[in-house]
Amino acid sequence: IILLKTEMYCTIASMPTSDLISHNNLHGKLPSQLSHQKMYEVYGIIGVGGGGMVYSGIRIGDSQPVAIKRIMREKVKRWEKIYGRSVPQEIGLMIRVNGHHGVIKLLDWYECLDSFILVLERPKNSVDLFDYIREVGRMTEKEACMIFRQVVSAVHHIHARGVVHRDIKDENIVLNRDTGESKLIDFGCGTLLHENQYKDFSGTPEFYPPEWFNQHYYKGKTAAIWSMGVLLYDMLCGEIPFKSKQKIGQGKLEFKVSLSSEAKHLISWMLAVNPESRPNINEILQHPWVTLRR
């Protein structure tokens, strides 16, 4: 079926990828009017993320696989100005971070009467990490390290671009089965990165840091380190380390499977209850568990 038959026209805000990378100030000419129905076909729902439904589809001109996310206006909580008009902050965040191999690419975006449409790349033969872990069980340390290193690199990139994701988890990592390449997806819970405390949280409670439950605030970078620690534990152990907010707040970590001492050290460091005791991203990338498995 053709995308969104009930809406005849949307405003297209398509730019070449190179322009998306360079336009970090979010300024540019106003988009033109074009029927998106002539550009994309949609086949079915593949997920729900960040307040919107996500569909699989193709770009008609070259048959490129795409993911098409529709965000209803009434569900948008954070807005910003792009091309002189208010759009969901998610669009602005994706424009800022576009251009890194470990982050899903924003190809086009459209403004409709009651919604916004994001057209995203969709890697072939891919699976999200949640389904992959449930399929294969716990990963080997070598495989987990290959994926984890890519995730850390992607998070390092988005922080450098002034963005915090706030929902780093297995469901938001897409893995290419053929190449092993992984990509961070779904910026619907993200916001601009700053050094002050955040007092609202968007994301998945099982990946929230303990300071949120204990003090009701957190900092963007140290919370991201905690979430990546939960992710690494999940990959290596086949399950998340804490299953309730009480256990997250206590932070008593147990390893139920056999792991190398380096893996245990890195996970324990990232899952320190005191956020100031956690490593920064550079320290993670230089950790022996990461460097010895290249």
CATH number at residue 204: 1.10.510.10
Residue 5 lies in a domain: no
Could you give the angle at which helices 261-270 and 220-237 cross, rounded to 10 degrees?
Answer: 150
128 labelled ligand-binding? yes
pLDDT at 7: 43
Residue 3 lies in a domain: no
pTM of model > 0.75? yes
- In 3D space, the residue among 140, 146, 200 whose CA is nearest the CA of residue 173 turns out to be 146
CA–CA gap between residue 72 and residue 290 (Å, rounded): 41
CA–CA gap between residue 135 and residue 124 (Å, rounded): 18
Q: Could you give the number of structural domains in the chain?
A: 2
178 labelled ligand-binding? no
Identify whether residues 159 and 91 lie together within a single domain. Answer: no
Residue 47 lies in a domain: yes
Q: What share of the chain has pLDDT > 70, as a percent?
A: 85
Residue 231 lies in a domain: yes
Side chain identity at 34, as an amino acid letter?
A: L
Domain that holds residue 99: 10-121
Model confidence band, residue 84 (pLDDT cutoffs 50, 70, 90): confident
Residue range 168-179, pLDDT digits in tens? 999 999 999 999
- DSSP H or E stretch at residue 272: none
Identify whether residues 130 and 262 lie together within a single domain. Answer: yes
pLDDT at 49: 61
More confident residue, 16 or 155: 155
Q: What CATH number has the domain bearing residue 66?
A: 3.30.200.20
Residue range 226-285, pLDDT digits in tens? 999 999 999 999 999 999 999 999 999 999 999 999 999 999 999 999 999 999 999 999
Q: Which of 62, 131, 167, 186 is catalytic?
A: 167
Judge whether 131 counts as a catalytic residue: no
Residue 2 lies in a domain: no
